[in-house]
Amino acid sequence: MTDTSATQAKRPASGFKIDFHVWGPIIALIVLVIAGALMNPNFLSYGNVTNVLARSAFIGIIAVGMTFVITSGGLDLSVGSMAAFIAGVMILIMNALLPSMGVGIGIVLVGMASALVVGLAAGLVNGLLITQARIEAFIVTLGTMGIFRSLITWLADGGTLSLDYSVREIYRPVYYSGLFGVAWPIIVFAVIAIIGEMIMRHTAFGRHCAAIGSNEQVARYSAVHVDRVRLATYVFLGILVGIATIMYVPRLGSASSATGVLWELEAIAAVIIGGTVLKGGFGRVWGTVVGVLILSLIDNLLNLTDLVSPYLNGAIQGVIIILAVVLQRQKKAAR
Amino acid sequence: MNLKHFAGALALGTMMVMPLAAQAQEEETAVIGVSIPAATHGWAGGMNFHAQATIEALEERYENLDFVLSTASDPGQQVSDIEDMMATRNIDALVVLPFESEPLTGPVQRVKEEGKWVTVVDRGLSQENIEDLYVAGDNPGFGRVAGEYFVENMPDGGNIVVLRGIPTTIDNERVEAFEAAIEGSGIEVLGMEHGNWNRDDSFEVMQDFLSRYPEIDAVWASDDDMAVGALEAIAQAGREDEMWVLGGAGMKEMIQRVMDGDEQVPANVTYPPAMIGTAIELTALNFVSDVPVSGEFIIGSVLITQDNAEQYYFPDSPF
């Protein structure tokens, strides 16, 4: 037991001891699924599974990007507000183009493109302020969180921005329909998670993120372009927020100052539950996906049963977040 | 009496300081501070809109009135706003829609002790007799009118689900009155969950209700933002023909659907965000006229059906 801790994740579980760092989140997920199936027969129905997976997609897509930011030792608190802002801009652009472009696929594509562009730009602003102006990520994104939230409130005049009904009818299937019975948000989430996992494990970029997160100085001396990699993580996250918004807008066709509230904390919680280290240096995308599913399953279960007072939903989530991390830590402390 | 004295004192004060030109301007103008919660959900957005619209109109109408508007996103910030108004803007009156009753009671009481006029809107303070004027919607009435509509339209009883707002006194009062109104009618409430007056939350809660209960005859969404989310979840499940939805507060899109005779949205119950305008207007009257305006002003909750929907339709409001 004197080998370095860096190899712990890769070593297979020996004997009867379960490596909670690897299996903790998955065990928690399985326990939740079994509990759900026992408590309500509709829990595993096609409709309910689709609902839960599709509603996880927004936070999930964002959390994949957040995994990279956190792994490289950063943090982004602005993603929830950013999503609301992007949704607002997207709706305004599509509504404004309606008279000239008419109703059609074209206008939806322009809306989607604008979401990606605004997301990229927002991520670039965060990233440049952090890497070039050398301000703490926490402070920068705390600032932009407030800025984006105010901008959406101002754009909506304190109310709600609604997508024109005719455009909405064309755009609606992006959330509600799918391929072979699998809803689009689920497909997009799955594809992004797989790509994310591959980038994290098999590319130089993924390894650089972990290197910067565990020791920035050493990474720099090892010829890693620290600022460039850092900047890329924020831009990547910005684009993913744009994609999440593309999936979000067709659901209710509206954006207001209440959109995306606390998404940033849910995404961060999912990343941590999944086993990524908050201080950086180690990250895994599949864990994040499991974390997102755990969080939305808890919500779903509490709605499907009368187990606890609805006032306590937040408390249950809090307990599970802490428990998930404690289980993972115990193993480490024991060494 | 009070009012007359105040007006007299104001006039006298104005005359006395008239020669001091710079000060005179400040003295003859009454400053009314308005402190409201920020636009965090649809209803509050409408309330913000009506507050600004009323202030603009009043500033144009009365030259000797000045307004200070501040919006707060939490009770702590609202307390600071009110302290700032007292310290730096020298307000003569405060119109306040408290974020929460308890934390705002002390600060508003201190404003009153300084001899300022105090108007409290919508949410009462936790101690009585602080305010000069209380303007509010009728929360128990809101629940009762909704409950009566269910009883009337479900004579043989049936299964309903209820979406509740953010856990607050307002929400409790509404739900209690609703439950009292449907008692003994054979209407069974299958489930109640908090949708937090939020479209996304109520969408997800309604999805889960639909998975959980195979038979739902109607939904009391208790708010129009929540009704939007609930309707979308019902459409997704393809169960539009099974149930109708009663929202509340009079969002323009919902009123439009009531006007059009939509079977899924047959009615609405008012809880007008424009009540902030009523409060500001009445407070202004105190400074520009001699009519008495102290006391309580409760704005009733009215049932909107296709017959009277038109008079509750405000296309310009954001809500």
SS (H, E, C) B7-75: HHHHHHHHHHHCCCHHHHHHHHCEEEEEEEECCCCHHHHHHHHHHHHHHHHHHHHCCCEEEEEEEECCH
Does residue A55 have a pLDDT over 80? Answer: yes
How distant is the Cα of A280 from the closest Cα of chain B, in angstroms? Answer: 32
Q: Which one of B45, B164, B211 has the shortest CB-CB distance to A51?
A: B211
Q: Summarize pLDDT for A247-302 with one digit per residue, the tens.
A: 999 988 888 888 888 899 999 999 998 888 888 889 999 999 999 999 888 888 88
Question: At A175, which amino acid appears?
Answer: Y
pLDDT score for B181 = 93
Asked if the Cβ–Cβ distance from A159 to B253 is below 8 Å, we say: no
**CA of B12: how far to CAs of A286, A316, B2, B21, B25, in Å?**
76, 63, 15, 15, 14
How distant is the Cα of A42 from the closest Cα of chain B, in angstroms? Answer: 6
B42 chain-A contacts, CB cut-off 8 A: 159-160, 256, 258
**By the 8 A CB rule, do B22 and B29 touch?**
no
Asked if the Cβ–Cβ distance from A47 to B211 is below 8 Å, we say: yes
B308 contacts: CB under 8 Å, gap ≥ 6: B302
For residue A3, with 0-12 CB atoms within 10 Å meaning exposed, 13-18 middle and 19 or more buried, which class applies? exposed
A258 chain-B contacts, CB cut-off 8 A: 40-42, 198-200, 225
For residue B316, with 0-12 CB atoms within 10 Å meaning exposed, 13-18 middle and 19 or more buried, which class applies? exposed
Q: Is the residue at A218 inside a domain?
A: yes
Interface of A with B in 120-179 (CB under 8 A): 153, 156-160, 162, 176
Q: Is the residue at A133 inside a domain?
A: yes
Per-residue pLDDT band for A132 (boundaries 50, 70, 90) equals: very high
pLDDT score for A60 = 96
Asked if the Cβ–Cβ distance from B317 to A176 is below 8 Å, we say: no
Asked if the Cβ–Cβ distance from A252 to B232 is below 8 Å, we say: yes
Instruction: Read off the tokens for B159.
Output: 């299964």
CA distance A33 to A43: 8
B98-B103-B108 Cα angle (round to 5): 60
B236-B237-B242 Cα angle (round to 5): 120
ipTM of this complex prediction, to 2 decimal places: 0.72
CA distance A131 to A142: 16
Inform me whether the C-beta atom of residue A71 falls under 8 Å from chain B C-beta atoms.
Answer: no
Instruction: Read off the tokens for B126.
Output: 């936790």
**By the 8 A CB rule, do A329 and A18 touch?**
no
A39-A42-A44 Cα angle (round to 5): 90
Number of domains comprising chain A: 1
Inform me whether the C-beta atom of residue B314 falls under 8 Å from chain A C-beta atoms.
Answer: no
What is the number of alpha carbons within 13 Å of residue B269 lying toward its C-beta?
A: 27
CA distance B150 to B159: 11
B38 chain-A contacts, CB cut-off 8 A: 153, 158, 257
Instruction: Read off the tokens for B36.
Output: 């409201």
Asked if the Cβ–Cβ distance from B38 to A257 is below 8 Å, we say: yes
Per-residue pLDDT band for A20 (boundaries 50, 70, 90) equals: low
Asked if the Cβ–Cβ distance from B318 to A45 is below 8 Å, we say: no
B73-B79-B85 Cα angle (round to 5): 105
B210 chain-A contacts, CB cut-off 8 A: 47
Length of chain A: 335
Q: Is the residue at A11 inside a domain?
A: no
Inform me whether the C-beta atom of residue B173 falls under 8 Å from chain A C-beta atoms.
Answer: no
Q: Summarize pLDDT for A75-98 with one digit per residue, the tens.
A: 999 999 999 999 999 999 999 998
A156 chain-B contacts, CB cut-off 8 A: 39, 45, 318
Does residue A8 have a pLDDT over 60? Answer: no
Comparing CA positions, the residue from A72, A68, A76, A74 lying closest to residue A219 is: A72
**By the 8 A CB rule, do B78 and B104 touch?**
yes
Per-residue pLDDT band for B14 (boundaries 50, 70, 90) equals: very low
A39 chain-B contacts, CB cut-off 8 A: none
Output the average pLDDT for chain B.
85
Helix axes A46-71, A263-273, angle to 10 degrees: 80
**CA of A104: how far to CAs of A97, A111, A167, B14, in Å?**
11, 12, 7, 65
Per-residue pLDDT band for B24 (boundaries 50, 70, 90) equals: very low
CA distance B194 to A318: 18
Lowest mean pLDDT among A23-27, B155-159, B277-281, B308-312: A23-27
B44 chain-A contacts, CB cut-off 8 A: 158
How distant is the Cα of A242 from the closest Cα of chain B, in angstroms? Answer: 18
State percent of chain B over pLDDT 90: 30
Q: Summarize pLDDT for A140-159 with one digit per residue, the tens.
A: 999 999 999 999 988 887 77
Q: Summarize pLDDT for B115-124 with one digit per residue, the tens.
A: 889 999 988 7
Q: Which one of B41, B45, B211 has the shortest CB-CB distance to A45?
A: B211
Q: Between chain A and chain B, how many beta carbons pairs sit less than 8 Å apart?
A: 92
B248 contacts: CB under 8 Å, gap ≥ 6: B142, B146, B221, B222, B223, B224, B227, B268, B269, B270, B271
Does residue B249 have a pLDDT over 80? Answer: yes
A176 chain-B contacts, CB cut-off 8 A: 236
CA distance B230 to B197: 11
**By the 8 A CB rule, do B97 and B121 touch?**
yes
**CA of A66: how far to CAs of A147, A269, A273, in Å?**
20, 10, 13
Q: Is the residue at A255 inside a domain?
A: yes
What are the φ and ψ backbone dihedral angles of B214, each rounded to 5 degrees?
-70, -25
Asked if the Cβ–Cβ distance from B228 to A158 is below 8 Å, we say: no
B41 chain-A contacts, CB cut-off 8 A: 256-258
pLDDT score for B88 = 83
Q: Is the residue at A232 inside a domain?
A: yes
Inform me whether the C-beta atom of residue B194 falls under 8 Å from chain A C-beta atoms.
Answer: yes
What is the number of alpha carbons within 13 Å of residue A112 lying toward its C-beta?
A: 14
**By the 8 A CB rule, do B281 and B293 touch?**
no
How distant is the Cα of B75 from the closest Cα of chain A, in angstroms? Answer: 18
Q: Summarize pLDDT for B169-210 with one digit per residue, the tens.
A: 788 889 999 999 999 888 999 999 989 888 999 999 999 999
Residue A178 DSSP SS3: strand
Q: Is the residue at A47 inside a domain?
A: no
B227 contacts: CB under 8 Å, gap ≥ 6: B202, B219, B221, B245, B246, B247, B248, B251, B254, B265
Residue A8 is classified by DSSP as T
Comparing CA positions, the residue from B190, B237, B245 lying closest to residue B215 is: B190
**By the 8 A CB rule, do B124 and B173 touch?**
no
Asked if the Cβ–Cβ distance from B204 to A42 is below 8 Å, we say: no
pLDDT score for B112 = 87
Q: What is the 3-state secondary structure (H, E, C) of chain B?
A: CHHHHHHHHHHHHHHHHCCCHHHHHHHHCEEEEEEEECCCCHHHHHHHHHHHHHHHHHHHHCCCEEEEEEEECCHHHHHHHHHHHHHHHCCCEEEECCCCHHHHHHHHHHHHHCCCEEEEECCCCCCCCCCCEEEEECHHHHHHHHHHHHHHHCCCCEEEEEEECCCCHHHHHHHHHHHHHHCCCCEEEEEEEECCCCHHHHHHHHHHHHHHCCCCCEEECCCHHHHHHHHHHHHHHCCCCCCEEECCCCCHHHHHHHHCCCCCCCCEECCCCCHHHHHHHHHHHHHHCCCCCCEEEEECCCEECCCCHHHHCCCCCCC
Q: Following CA atoms B288, B290, B292, B298 in sequence, which dihedral angle do they give, to the nearest 10 degrees?
A: -30
A40 chain-B contacts, CB cut-off 8 A: 212
State percent of chain A over pLDDT 70: 91
Task: Delineate the domains of chain B, giving CATH numbers in brackets.
Answer: 2-137+273-300 (3.40.50.2300), 139-269 (3.40.50.2300)
Structural domain boundaries enclosing A173: 58-288
Strand partners, A256: A160
Comparing CA positions, the residue from B289, B279, B306 lying closest to residue B135 is: B279
Sign of the C-alpha dihedral, residues B261, B265, B271, B276?
negative
Q: Is B39 left (phi over 0), alpha (psi -120 to 50) or beta?
A: beta
CA distance A278 to B95: 45
Q: Is the residue at A82 inside a domain?
A: yes
Question: At A259, which amino acid appears?
Answer: T
Q: Is the residue at A32 inside a domain?
A: no
